[in-house]
Chain A
Amino acid sequence: MTGPGDHHEDDAVLAAEHVLGLLGGEELDRAERRLETDPDYRALYAAWAEDFVSLTHDMTPVTPPVRVRNAIDRRLFGARREGLLRRLGLWPALSAAALAAGTYLVVTNLDLLRPGPEAPPFGAEIAADDRSLVVRVAFDPDAPEMLRVLRPSGAAAPGRALELWLIAGDAAPVSLGVLPEDREGRVTVPEDLQPLLSQAVLAISDEPAGGSPTGAPTGAVLGAGPVTRL
């Protein structure tokens, strides 16, 4: 990004860089403030935004699957706040057990996840009691939007999926999505869940292919583990 010594002769160019996302640091902060206070700059910004948006006009609209709409409704309006397992009272017990038993395993077994010296310092191990399923998750607290997932043991049953859940305190489990079919992969964490991650318990349930149709766990809970510093 440009340093503070850089002077823009032309606000039009600055506004274009702003729309393109090429500004950073102080320069971006200043431009953001001008957007609020300087009508001329705002007009330049708006004109560029309109022009650049036409670069998307040839992008074909694609109807999203209905599960996206359902997930949005659930998140915003809490259509199914009380998941089945929660109503059965299983989640709190499971969370407590996982918290009691999990830490030792996490500390000893997460080495495999470390890619190098800059290892993600947070993670969890989610394992079945008999170790028939073992999933390890790690993430960098500076980049909590992405979980690295390693599954050294176990797999989804044929035609089924393994779904990852985040449980924050006493709240109902929130889906983090279906685990990748590959043994190594990644899971994206929605922005509003990222702050909860380091204090959460992660769990895995057995679900229909594509994930739980209801937004709450519907199948057996295969394992759970707390997120800890590695």
Chain B
Amino acid sequence: MKELICIACPNGCRLTVDEKTNAVSGNKCLRGEKFALKEITCPTRSLTSTIATVFDDCPVISVKTDGEIPKDKIFSVMKELKKIKVEKRLKIGDIVIANVADANVNIVATKNM
């Protein structure tokens, strides 16, 4: 039995997972079950950060991964974000880096510049 706190939404449900049967309890919704099962096998996170731009009025633009990445890839993705500088005005959802750090997710803008 493993106890977890669900981070899928702000409710923060206290979950219990039976590692043998994969039975999850304590969750208020399906997201909790999904989270628990992933957390005991391959924990993933979405990552949010910023990327530098060439524009004075907006020296950095906020970005996110458009899916979750394995927890242990967080810092290698952060390293990739430091390497580039945005040179054109972006909109929410525009891809800034495709398949970042081979994590099968894209880095997308989360702000309209």
Do A and B assemble together? no
Q: B-contacting residues of A (Cβ < 8 Å)?
A: none
